[in-house]
Amino acid sequence: MGKSRLEAFSDGVLAIIITIMVLELKVPHGADAEALKPLIPKFLSYVLSFVYVGIYWNNHHHMLHVAKHVSGAVLWANLNLLFWLSLFPFVTGWMGENHFEALPSAVYGFVLLAAAVSYYALQQSIIATDGPSSVLRRAVGKDWKGKASPLLYVAAMVSAFWSPWLAQAIYVLVALIWLVPDRRIERAINTQT
Amino acid sequence: MGKSRLEAFSDGVLAIIITIMVLELKVPHGADAEALKPLIPKFLSYVLSFVYVGIYWNNHHHMLHVAKHVSGAVLWANLNLLFWLSLFPFVTGWMGENHFEALPSAVYGFVLLAAAVSYYALQQSIIATDGPSSVLRRAVGKDWKGKASPLLYVAAMVSAFWSPWLAQAIYVLVALIWLVPDRRIERAINTQT
Amino acid sequence: MGKSRLEAFSDGVLAIIITIMVLELKVPHGADAEALKPLIPKFLSYVLSFVYVGIYWNNHHHMLHVAKHVSGAVLWANLNLLFWLSLFPFVTGWMGENHFEALPSAVYGFVLLAAAVSYYALQQSIIATDGPSSVLRRAVGKDWKGKASPLLYVAAMVSAFWSPWLAQAIYVLVALIWLVPDRRIERAINTQT
Amino acid sequence: MGKSRLEAFSDGVLAIIITIMVLELKVPHGADAEALKPLIPKFLSYVLSFVYVGIYWNNHHHMLHVAKHVSGAVLWANLNLLFWLSLFPFVTGWMGENHFEALPSAVYGFVLLAAAVSYYALQQSIIATDGPSSVLRRAVGKDWKGKASPLLYVAAMVSAFWSPWLAQAIYVLVALIWLVPDRRIERAINTQT
């Protein structure tokens, strides 16, 4: 089983997710600055989600790069990840529509959490398929980012009911943690050769 | 005639179908749990259809993997399958919008049936193109899943007018039947080598 | 200059065009057969356009298959074709919304005409780039289908103001002419080898 | 790190951007020429943006063609470019909706400017990754088009508040400058071999 179609299909779904989120920015009728003002929270939530989908694409790209085989289990673990990512446009739009209120912010965190857990499951599924010589297993190592993120999402979900802005700050923080280039996989490849 | 563009185009269409279904989950104006409640049936129908499109992508991926050539007939059999799958967003939205009432549930079953028949036709078209040495023919074998599914869809369509929930149960059952990994094609490849 | 990205981009655009046309089938609120009835003309126009985009994808697939190089001129001739095809969702929706009335039927024909002329220009552009040994030139031959189609579209546009249904009959006729498998390119490849 | 998935993902996003812009051309209810008239400014802004996205796809295609490696920095520079391009449907729709008034025309120019600057950053990022032997660096040369465009966008943004039509004229002018085939990269490849 080759992995090229898994990559192509995932690229397609991620490309569509990242692009249709922008459709929530409905074109206003007025032509002045006042008409743009209500769009500011929607725009901010769009930027946040764009960065998150970008991070997922980036990490997915690296992970599949070192995967040797894909099994039926990997295909379904991947579809499960894509399912949760496909809810990004909805939760992004809902959070932006309601100016980062408590419940939409918490639900946004829940989808981030589910995506993170799904990504972890996909990673484990690839490692299991590749067997003892898995490059990915070595690359992942202690995976502190992967383990810390779900905890931070849970913290954000809880704090959303107390201070939605704290939740947003945590979402931005996790994004920044992941934006810092992750050299683990590149290093693991170099170590091998 | 190579099969790579057929795969790429199908991946594109399937990726879009699976993603635009989520657009039926319209962002609500309210920020409380009440605002989410009317979306529950739509969300459930989205999950069901996501799993079905995932199954089709998965099976399509396996089937094309063992196809040797694609002819003009295969291209059109594939487009016919994509046409019926392209109606998934509509019937999914209609069924969710109307809380799984009789007619929308039956029409949903009709589209599932048409997609299953189209998939079967595509399979036969590839086997005919590949000739006597077709790996796919050996892989498909008795194809009891492929033969039982249309019968179950018809049963669901009929029962929808008597008990829509029974129809839904059948749709979930068929999805579960297909979710169980299908090792026929992988086995057929191994037997050959 | 490789042709793989041209194919990939065109596949992406065609996959999106063929899929977003279905979004014009807006989910009705009612759950009975009455609710579906107003959608019948939209569904019919969707089927017609699905077949046309399928024909274009099919022919594009064959044509690029025998192209040797792509130049800057070919890239822009291809984008010009994609532009006209991108108007299909709009004219399809407009014609369906207005039950195949005169002007929408004529405008639909105009977009079909512009796409056909653009396809012809792309074909000539590839032949010019490939030079005297162009397989495509031999494959195209007298190209009676390519020459008859624009004339039939013009006939349909004119007749739309007199009898819109005659225009529709011509659109269906042209689609059927193209649906008949075109063995010219496959023959030209075989002759060569 | 291969560049094929970067190309595939970018192709997907660009294909979606160029296609969903057409969704701003909402299907009118009337069937006469009057019903089409309000769509003229939207159609014109669609044509302009289609050409711009086409130019970006074309240049992206050429640039990646000569890139040797992609690093993490290149992936993010590319996502940054895609982000600004993803705002095209919004600003195109807003400008068309408001008949090329001052503010929408200026905001349109701002997004063009941000995309141009992002493209330049991506170009520099690829050159830095490729090192001293970069074919792209030689191909880019003095890059007068790349340097003149941002200045012209700024000029258009300022003039939009004085004469929106002058701004439009500048946008058309810049598009024409880029439409003229750019032989630099093709020449650099030939020089090398």
What DSSP string runs through A111-143? HHHHHHHHHHHHHHHHHHHHGGG-HHHHHHTT-
Mean pLDDT of C26-48: 93
What is the reported pLDDT for D138? 84
Query: B73 contacts in C (CB within 8 Å)?
Result: 181
- To test the contact with chain C by mutation, choose from D22, D55, D82 the residue with the greatest count of C C-beta atoms within 10 A, namely D22
C180 and chain B in contact, CB less than 8 A? no
At A180, the pLDDT band (50, 70, 90 cuts) reads confident
- CA C24 to chain CA centroid, Å, is 19
Cα(C36)–Cα(C27) distance, integer angstroms: 9
> How far D16 CA lies from chain A's nearest CA (Å)?
7
Q: Is the pLDDT of residue D51 over 80?
A: yes
State the 10-residue block means of pLDDT for chain B, 193 residues long.
84 93 91 93 96 94 87 92 97 94 96 97 92 84 87 97 95 91 65 60
pLDDT of residue D40: 94
A40, A61, A190, best to mutate vs chain D, most D CBs in 10 Å: A61
- Region of D145 (left: φ > 0; alpha: ψ -120 to 50; beta: rest) is alpha
The Cα B136–Cα C105 span in angstroms is 44
ipTM, 2 dp: 0.90
Does residue C40 belong to the interface with chain B, where contact is any CB pair within 8 Å? no
Confidence of residue C185 (pLDDT cuts 50, 70, 90): low
Q: pLDDT tens-digit profile of C109-168?
A: 999 999 999 999 999 999 998 888 888 888 887 788 888 999 999 999 999 999 999 999
Under an 8 A CB cutoff, do B86 and C19 touch? Answer: yes
pTM score of the predicted model: 0.92
Distance from CA of A140 to the nearest CA of B (A): 27
Cα gap D72→C58, rounded to integer Å = 37
Question: Touching check for B25 and chain C: CB below 8 Å?
Answer: no
Tell me the average pLDDT across D86-90.
97
Assess D57–C contact: CB distance below 8 Å, yes or no.
Answer: yes
Residues of B in contact with A8 (CB under 8 A): 7-8, 11
Report the pLDDT value the prediction gives residue D139, as an integer from 0 to 100.
81
- Per-residue pLDDT band at A84 (split at 50, 70, 90): very high
Of D125, D130, D115, whose CA–CA distance to D178 is shortest?
A: D115
The minimum CA-CA distance between D101 and chain C, rounded to whole Å, is: 25
Which residues of D are less than 8 Å from C100 in CB distance?
A: none
Residue C29: its chain B contacts at CB < 8 A? 97-98
Minimal CA separation from B145 to chain C, in Å: 28
Indicate the residue of A86, A101, A107 with minimum beta-carbon distance to B22.
Answer: A86
Contact C90 D25 (CB under 8 A): yes
**Residue A41 contacts by C-beta under 8 Å, 6 or more apart in sequence?**
A95, A96, A97, A99, A100
Q: Is the pLDDT of residue C193 over 60?
A: no
Reference C65, options A163, B72, D7, D171; nearest CA is B72
The answer to whether B59 faces chain A, any CB pair under 8 Å, is: no
